[in-house]
Amino acid sequence: MSQYENFAYIYDDLMDDVDYEMWVNHIEKIIKKSGSSVKNILELACGTGNITIPLARKGYDIAGVDISYSMLDVALSKSEEMGIPLVLLEQDIVELDFDLYDLDCVLCACDGFNYITEIDDLKKVFAKVYELLKKEGVFIFDISSYYKIKSILGNNFMGESRENLSYMWTNYFDEETNLIDMELDFFVKVEVEDDEEDNLYERYREVHHQRAYEESELVTLLKEVGFRDVEVFGDFDLEKSKENSQRLFFMSKK
Ligand SMILES: C[S@@+](CC[C@H](N)C(=O)[O-])C[C@H]1O[C@@H](n2cnc3c(N)ncnc32)[C@H](O)[C@@H]1O
């Protein structure tokens, strides 16, 4: 089973404790700090649109790209329900086929790049982003830090049991390759009319593969493809990242 198929339809439920408003405000603070004038944004790995929709609502002209049809399907339903039209493209960002140049900003939020497990592929993405941006354009992304993947997610088991949804999440981290396999087993309550059949659940399984990147590795990669003024902030602060920052925000300019 590939990544983000059935999982796409429970993703927003599982992320219901994430403060996306704060996330979007933080992205705007980084845009401001960059000094770039941003009206249009290309968002890579946009998922169900949790960042895309609020940014569109704030008036940015935004397009989202994601490899998962199902994640985009959820994004589209939400945008239609809210009356916020979105441009969504189903593509692998490693092979990004996009030819609108001179973009103000390219964004990738919440682990999109952790899913790119080959460093050469990530370099290819960075080079394409550089090509697409206008001069002075800003590239912003955030990832789960090496510290978080190794020490928090590591080889841990997590689980939760809710009324309509339960899951078991088992991780295997390989320090040699810096790759983490995440096995997700989830049980979704089946909606039935009959009260007697009220405890039927469907079981799904997906295995997600991510890579833990060192901050210095990514800074080098950004500079190699031409980016300048590279800065890395820890968690949701505009301060330099620390050893135990779990989320790293990268800002760089063309
Ligand atoms: C953790 S979700 C984040 C979604 C969204 N950015 C958010 O903030 O909620 C990671 C997303 O990366 C997408 N993704 C993973 N690999 C990708 C690739 N090679 N090309 C495009 N999207 C990818 C997945 O389909 C998924 O939607």
What per-residue confidence (pLDDT) applies to 2? 82
**Are 216 and 114 within 8 A, CB to CB?**
no
Q: Tell me, using a 6 A CB cutoff, whether residue 218 lines ligand 1.
A: no
Stretch 140-148: mean pLDDT, rounded?
Answer: 98
Q: What residue ranges of the chain are covered by domains with CATH 3.40.50.150?
A: 8-144+214-253
Q: Ligand 1 pocket check: which of 17, 66, 108, 142 to mutate, most ligand atoms within 8 Å of Cβ? A: 66
CA distances from 192 to 55, 198, 200, 238 (A): 37, 7, 8, 48
User: What is the CATH superfamily name and number for domain 8-144+214-253?
Assistant: Vaccinia Virus protein VP39 (3.40.50.150)
Pocket perturbation via mutation, ligand 1, pick of 1, 4, 10, 13 by most ligand atoms within 8 A of CB: 4
| Ligand 1 pocket check for 74: Cβ under 6 Å | no
Q: Average pLDDT in the 100-126 region? A: 98
Query: Separation of 198 CA from ligand 1 center, angstroms?
Result: 34
Determine which residue's CA is closest to atom 13 belonging to ligand 1: 45
Which residue's alpha carbon is at the smallest distance from atom 19 of ligand 1? 92
Domain with CATH 2.20.25.110 in the chain: 148-211
Residue closest via CA to ligand 1's atom 4 equals 47
| Helix pair 215-224, 119-132: axis angle to 10 deg | 50
Q: In which band, very low, low, confident or very high, does the pLDDT at 199 lie, cut at 50, 70 and 90?
A: confident
Mean pLDDT of 181-201: 85
Q: What is the pLDDT of residue 1?
A: 57
CA 91 to chain centre: 14
Contact, 96 vs 128, CB < 8 A?
A: yes
- Fold observed for domain 148-211: N-terminal domain of TfIIb (2.20.25)
Distance 114 CA to ligand 1 centre (A): 9
- In terms of DSSP bridges, do strands 61-66 and 87-90 run parallel, antiparallel, or are they unpaired? parallel
